[in-house]
Amino acid sequence: MDILIKRATIIHRNSEFHLKVKDVLISKGTIKNISDEIDTTNARVITGEKLFCCIGLIDIGTHSGEPGYEHRETIKTLTSSALAGGYTALAVFPNNKPTIQTKADIRYLAEHPDRQGVSIYPIGVLSKDTSGEDIAEYMDMKSAGAIAFSDGMKSVQDTSLLDRALLYASQAGVPLIHHPDDHFLSAGGEMNEGFMSTSLGMKGIPDIAELHTIQRDILLTEYNDTGIIEHGISSARSVKVIHHAQKNNSKISATVPYLNLIFTDEDLNDFDTNLKVIPVLRSPADRLKLVEGIKDGTICAIVSNHTPLDDESKNLEFPYAKPGAIGLETCLSACITYLSDLIDLPVLIHSLTVAPRELLNIHMPDIKVGTKADLCIFDTESLWICDKEHIKSKSSNSPFLGKELKGKVLATICG
């Protein structure tokens, strides 16, 4: 059946229709027509009060569960969750059991039969077994389809190892993704170090644990003339030092989890374990600086930080709960709900669609006649309740359970 999208504002900087209100007709998975008015009687019609159409969202650093943690997430539930949230592509971290570090591991994810049309881009390990001790086989993984190397949210403490990894990744021609965290400074911490951690009697994680690692990484990239993606930054001082490095032509980029743009450590008053995440939620001043970083381009991409966890890992007292929250189904809606007064919608969508693909040097969909339909259709005026019954993920560790969100994905189209 053909699909007709009626009167949608197109958001895609690379398209000639950017910010124009158009009808879009899709036939057999391909965009057949884009016009002011399209009439057809044989199409499924998608309408909305305030409809928008962009290319499918892409997430960097999704945790897949499968293989090894299928009780938390399978590829089928992961991609179902992605489609519900408007994502047509996922760059998946390698923190599985076994870790994603061989040709077979890479192909297992990239060619999985339960992808449901969603493109899965495997990220190979930075170090063998993500142990932070020995370099992995980069060229083998790249030949099988790895689009980047990373140890996920495990920060590399060995400076010599990261130095070699930067060189090898550069030779392989793919990005290195690194989460900055000095374990010697953050060890045992439960939340941001500051007034709230003192008030709640929690051991804090100082922002210098992140800042110190970023400064080290900048020095290494400048020394080797290589690039790096600082994944999941959380503090104002990190934004400042990255911005300064970029002005001096350093090849450093950054991503930020959407929860760090929305919540702060002040939201931990009720000890909601679904807000216990990595990186930790920091102060209101940090949050505003992160928002500023998105607006001025210092931070390129917004990520969902999708980390599915079972109830046994989250329904515990705060110090004993594992950090992490699912995010694919709520990222776009939560950003529209909480950030619309701070970030213009075109900037927000760019950070969720075009910028992540540019960071990873992967295929960029387009919105023009004759191209494969790779689209997210959403209504910014549509209200919905995030409830456990309708979550597509196999896990339900979300801080938005029971909350009303504004902006609903009406359709995700993957060819």
Q: Where are the domains of the chain?
A: 2-51+370-414, 56-360
Q: What is the pTM of this model?
A: 0.97
pLDDT exceeds cutoff 90 at 175: yes
Whole-number Å distance between alpha carbons of 375 and 57? 8
CATH number of 2-51+370-414: 2.30.40.10
pLDDT exceeds cutoff 90 at 42: no
**What are the tens digits of pLDDT across the range 202-235?**
999 999 999 999 999 999 999 999 999 999 999 9
Looking at residue 249, what is its pLDDT? Answer: 86
The mean pLDDT of 69-89, rounded to a whole number, is: 98
Whole-number Å distance between alpha carbons of 127 and 165? 8
Whole-number Å distance between alpha carbons of 235 and 288? 10
pLDDT band for position 70 (cuts 50, 70, 90): very high
Whole-number Å distance between alpha carbons of 204 and 185? 10
The distance in angstroms from the start CA to the end CA of the chain is 12
Q: What is the third-level CATH fold of 56-360?
A: TIM Barrel (3.20.20)
Under 8 Å CB-to-CB from 337, ≥6 apart: which residues?
405, 406, 407
Nearest to 118 by CA among 127, 109, 108, 129: 109
Nearest to 136 by CA among 155, 147, 121, 149: 149
Q: Taking the CA of residue 264 as centre, how many other CA atoms within 13 Å lie in the half-sphere pointing to its CB?
A: 16
φ and ψ of 7, to 5 deg: 50, 60
Looking at residue 349, what is its pLDDT? Answer: 98
Looking at residue 253, what is its pLDDT? Answer: 98
Percentage of the chain modeled with pLDDT above 90: 98
* 321 CB neighbour count, 10 Å cutoff: 19
Which strand ranges, in their side-by-side order, compose the sheet holding 119-125? 57-62, 87-92, 119-125, 148-150, 176-178, 228-230, 252-257, 301-303
Q: Which residue has the tokens 């309740």?
A: 385
